[in-house]
């Protein structure tokens, strides 16, 4: 089976995670459905020690082939859940066969344009998997799962030489909890790679430092006709808080190593309001400064509107895994060689986000990130070339076949 065929099958299963239910793992029961399917498929392929735990983590192993017994055990990791940013229910993937260039009409009034997605020009003549415009596709990260299992199938059926391999598929990566309960002892890898990135050339060992910030705003609501010097409109206080953040430091105006404040949710009335942000920066000092700025705004608002009017809660999510991987360049170089063997020029770049590798690296399992071939993640414009998925299968085989 080719990798894209697996993706089409996995994409139809809703696995959206839910940040509001992060106290339990997985955060959504639906993730178990795909976990069960993967467990069954791994057993049928012939992986050993296949195991699915109560939290939706699915494990499997392949012993080293003859002559590779002294090679390191390499882990391969991808995540089961899809982002809660956009609907993952009733996904209807379709294939644009032999793409000949130009924009791709999806439906629902949505179009994947060459202007916004110039990668399309690199995939002329290829088959491209897209959505129907009403949901995300889920290639983030079901493409990674599909590529890993297709590589495992090739190793088994074709008898290709390889090191020992440990596989794990995790829940809840999209809400920052995907690696918390991964059993490292059971996993048994010396180091690992996540397949959770974009273009096939991508190789990343740097992530953001990340936290979330929630503002709870308590207003004073009285009849507007007699509100002078009494009413405090929580909605207006919320707007004032956002106005005190640097307007240029948002995702839509930053790139590369530039950090940001991202307002993800807002709701409210005159009586109460709530703002939710994520805060990101690659530099640890700048990351701390962003949190301190929010703390100063909280102090200023409470001084202006009265003690207890505003409450800020910051929750740490993950740290920049470069702190660990700068000292393990051997692992990064191995991935570079695997890419070059496939005729690719490694594009070593920081991730403007995070992966399970962030937590895992700090837990003692160094874990850079590789691409999957996907673009436009977390929304209806998500798309991926079937040829790029095949390329990533070959990259994984190169990675595992090096002594």
Catalytic one of 173, 356, 388, 394: 173
Q: Taking the CA atoms of 16, 349, 58 and 12 in sequence, report the sign of the dihedral they define.
A: positive
Measured from the Cβ of residue 15, the count of other Cβ atoms closer than 10 Å reads 28
* Strand-pair partners of 281: 209
From residue 332, give the alpha-carbon distance in Å to each of 134, 186, 358, 372, 374.
Answer: 38, 24, 15, 17, 21
DSSP element (H, E) containing 139: helix 139-158
Q: List phi, psi (to 5°) of 207.
A: -130, 175
* Strand-pair partners of 310: 217
CA distance 84 to 119: 25
CA distance 75 to 92: 31
Q: List phi, psi (to 5°) of 279.
A: -115, 130
Catalytic one of 81, 172, 196, 201: 81
Q: Taking the CA atoms of 361, 254, 385 and 381 in sequence, report the sign of the dihedral they define.
A: positive
* Strand-pair partners of 204: 369
Residue 81 annotated in active site = yes
Positions annotated as catalytic residues are: 81, 173
């Amino acid at each position: 089976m080719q990798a894209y065929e697996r993706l089409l099958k996995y994409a139809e299963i809703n696995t959206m995670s839910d940040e509001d239910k992060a106290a339990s793992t997985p955060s959504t029961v639906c993730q178990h459905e795909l976990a069960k399917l993967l467990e069954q498929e791994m057993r049928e392929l012939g992986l050993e020690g296949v195991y699915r735990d109560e939290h939706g983590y699915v494990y499997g192993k392949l012993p080293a082939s003859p002559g590779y017994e002294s090679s390191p055990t390499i882990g391969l990791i991808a995540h089961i859940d899809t982002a809660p940013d956009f609907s993952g229910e009733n996904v209807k993937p379709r294939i644009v066969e032999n793409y000949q260039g130009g924009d791709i009409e999806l439906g629902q009034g949505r179009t994947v344009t060459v202007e916004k997605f110039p990668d399309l020009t690199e995939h002329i003549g290829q088959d491209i998997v897209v959505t129907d415009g009403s949901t995300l596709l889920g290639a983030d990260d079901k493409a990674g799962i599909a590529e890993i299992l297709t590589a495992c199938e090739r190793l088994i059926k074709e008898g290709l030489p390889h090191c020992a391999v440990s596989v794990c598929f995790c829940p809840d990566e999209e809400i920052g909890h995907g690696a918390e309960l991964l059993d490292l002892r059971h996993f048994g890898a010396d180091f690992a790679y996540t397949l959770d990135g974009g273009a096939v050339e991508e190789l990343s060992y740097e992530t953001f430092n990340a936290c979330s910030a929630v503002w709870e705003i308590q207003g004073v609501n009285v009849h507007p006709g007699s509100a002078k010097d009494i009413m405090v409109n929580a909605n207006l206080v919320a707007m004032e808080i956002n106005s005190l953040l640097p307007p240029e430091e948002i995702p839509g105006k930053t790139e590369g190593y530039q950090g940001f404040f991202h307002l993800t949710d807002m709701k409210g009335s005159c009586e109460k309001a709530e703002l939710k942000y994520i805060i990101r920066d690659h530099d640890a000092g700048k990351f701390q400064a962003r949190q301190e700025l929010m703390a100063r705004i909280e102090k200023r608002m409470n001084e202006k509107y009265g003690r207890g009017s505003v409450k800020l809660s910051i929750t740490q999510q993950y740290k920049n895994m470069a702190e660990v991987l700068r000292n393990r360049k051997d692992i990064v170089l191995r991935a570079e060689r695997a890419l070059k063997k496939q005729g690719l020029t490694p594009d070593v770049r920081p991730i403007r986000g995070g992966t399970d590798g962030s937590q895992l690296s700090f837990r003692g399992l160094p874990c850079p990130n590789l691409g999957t071939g996907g673009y436009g993640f977390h929304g209806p414009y998500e798309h991926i070339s079937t040829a790029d998925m095949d390329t990533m299968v070959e990259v994984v085989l190169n990675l595992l076949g090096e002594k």
